Amino acid sequence: MSRVLSVHSADEFQAKINAKAPFGGATGVVVDFTASWCGPCKMIGPIFEQMSAQHPSLTFVKVDVDECSDVASKCGITGMPTFHSYLNGSKVDQVVGADKAKLSTLVEGSTKGAHTTVP
């Protein structure tokens, strides 16, 4: 089952990357900047979906650069797919291109920073 959330506005994007984790833990977010016409995006999309299921401590978000061009511009997106990782609202890493190994490294790095502290 997919855990990838689609974002449709700049406000929604900001809300997702700035969301607070329960119990005061760190919040990790991995964002896929994509486009419906992008062949490499279509190839790596299912892998991004699988990673979302394998890493429940992270929030996975998809942004269509044509629908949310303001978000793409603000984030400096010049090629697709581009993946950003955020921790507590701050960008910490990025990968440009449909490189599964690099995406996996980005996600694993995000997992190390995002955990929930249960009282």
Active site (catalytic) residues: 38, 41
Annotate 64-94 with b (16+ C-beta within 10 A) or e (fewer).
Answer: bbeebeebbeebebeebbbbbbbbbeeeebb
Nearest to 31 by CA among 79, 74, 78, 93: 93
3-state secondary structure of 43: helix
Q: How far apart are the first and last CA of the chain?
A: 29
